[in-house]
Copies of this chain bind each other. A is one copy, B any other.
């Protein structure tokens, strides 16, 4: 239902092939969207049928032909309409929290929380590097377009930071409660 519109979004910036759109999902939008190439190709076919996009075939010597897609005016209109629509409530399905809720082996739990921390820390680091490399200037010096892209990154950073400090709290609360043997003050 939504992939359609996300594709319209990335195509609204510039014409791209299905392959490039898939990469865009991994790189630029990785923070808030993902799709496999099969899904993308399938959707592109449907959208072409619905006249939301058109493609021109480019013959290349050696490499396979590529279909470069771009928006039609109908596609652009559909995008505008969708952008103005309010969003429904966000569905959150979190397997990690399900396991935390249910897992009574503290050994297993420790592994899960460590893995969660590691994943969060890894993402955070990636996001911070992207921020440093592509958004070095202060926000008020950015164009509005860039500022919005930057804010999506800031969102990812804020989330990951919150996750990391939560994970520390959780570790303390679940594992460091050897209150008797550990020195409470000083030493």
Contacts and interface: CB of A to CB of B under 8 A. Distances in A.
Interface string A86-106: 110111111111111111111
Quick one: copies of this chain in the complex?
2
A183 interface: no
A97 B2 contact: no
Q: How large is the interface on A (under 10, 10 to 19, 20 to 34, 35 or more residues)?
A: 35 or more
A102 B9 contact: yes
Interface stretch (A44-52, A59-67, A125-133, A142-150): A142-150
Interface in A80-125: 83-84, 86-87, 89-106, 108-109, 111-112, 115-116, 119
B83 A148 contact: no
A31 interface: yes
30 contacts: A5-B98, A6-B98, A9-B101, A12-B102, A29-B101, A32-B97, A32-B101, A34-B92, A83-B99, A84-B108, A86-B111, A87-B96, A90-B96, A90-B119, A97-B155, A100-B152, A101-B149, A104-B144, A106-B144, A139-B173, A140-B173, A140-B177, A144-B174, A147-B173, A154-B170, A158-B165, A158-B166, A159-B162, A161-B162, A162-B162
